[in-house]
Amino acid sequence: MSLDLDLDEGQQALFDAVARLCRDRCDDDAVRALSGRFPREPWRALAELGVLGIGTPEGEGGALEMVAALEALGRAVFPGPLVATFLATRLLPEAERVRVVSGEAVVCVATPPELPWGPDADLFVEIEAGLEQAFLAEPRGEIEPVATLGAEPWGRGELVRATPLENLSVALCTADVARAAYLAAAGRRLVEGAAEHARTRRQFGRAIGEFQAVAHPLADAVIALDGAALLARAAAFRLDGLEPSTPAHEAVAWAAAARLAATRAALDAVHVGHQVFGAVGITLEGPAFHVSRRIRQVASIPPSDHRARPAILATFTPELQEARA
């Protein structure tokens, strides 16, 4: 059976609308200027566009529409707790979910003591280290601000669990797909910038892109990133086909595979990109560093990939499939 993974007309329109918002409200200069601060004005604009409500009762669309939006956001390295928000809107009770979808409340999804976006959060979701349970929670005492590679306002502290939350497995799949779409797009943005630099930067009388030691790693990075992007769309297709209950193991495995593939491809793209850019790639005002540090940050945010590899092995290894039967 063949599967068309191109964006349909509506999904392409959503991608274009989000990309336009990023250009108008959160361009590269704005992203650099936000260092250490929450992007409140762009975040409200994203909520007004309906992006934060995709796949919820308050919004429209499903996982494929979420992927279309995140591909645009990834190319713009849009800041904020995007993965956490899409995860939380699958878990939170209606009253809290509406606040998040509308942009009124910022959510922190954490496995303490690290609290991503904790200093600016209004709602807290704690996920156990083993990814078995999730809880609506409250901070215990003050949140200690901590510096991060991605210049995001993280914190450190304890949470007090309150209400248990359901549908964690669906939420984790959604978060894996969201992360994969964002990282694949951000990685592609970095590699395209590096390729343009290689086309114009000259050494020994030639553009450095003419040397195989430069061109081949860039080509390998593009292949890996394109594969990861398609895998994210395929995982979203399977996630859209599920009922709002614990998903089948195949959907868990596809989402996990998308996450691992995109994380590896994007981090490899960072390595290749910085090799091509050289010293200019590590300057704060340069064309690459604000992209690469955002990639590293998104790749490292919770929830962890604790269940990813076992899910993939259990689903895609024939011996284990036969053992399950």
Tens-place pLDDT, residues 155-200? 999 999 999 999 899 999 999 999 999 999 999 999 999 999 999 8
- Banded model confidence at residue 321, pLDDT cuts 50, 70, 90: low
User: What pLDDT, on a 0 to 100 scale, did the predictor assign at position 232?
Assistant: 97
pLDDT, one tens digit per residue, over 103-131 is 999 999 999 999 999 999 999 999 998 88
pLDDT(69) > 80? yes
What CATH number has the domain spanning 169-319?
A: 1.20.140.10
pLDDT(246) > 60? no
Question: Which of 34-48, 97-111, 285-299, 310-324 has the least mean pLDDT?
Answer: 310-324
Asked whether the whole model's pTM tops 0.85, one would answer yes
User: What pLDDT, on a 0 to 100 scale, did the predictor assign at position 325?
Assistant: 54
- Banded model confidence at residue 320, pLDDT cuts 50, 70, 90: low
Measured between alpha carbons, how far is 257 from 108 in angstroms, rounded to an integer? 25
- Banded model confidence at residue 236, pLDDT cuts 50, 70, 90: very high
Q: Is the pLDDT higher at 280 or at 184?
A: 184
User: What pLDDT, on a 0 to 100 scale, did the predictor assign at position 250?
Assistant: 81
Question: Which of 65-79, 148-162, 175-189, 301-315 has the least mean pLDDT?
Answer: 301-315
Q: What percent of the chain has pLDDT over 90?
A: 73
Average pLDDT in the chain: 91
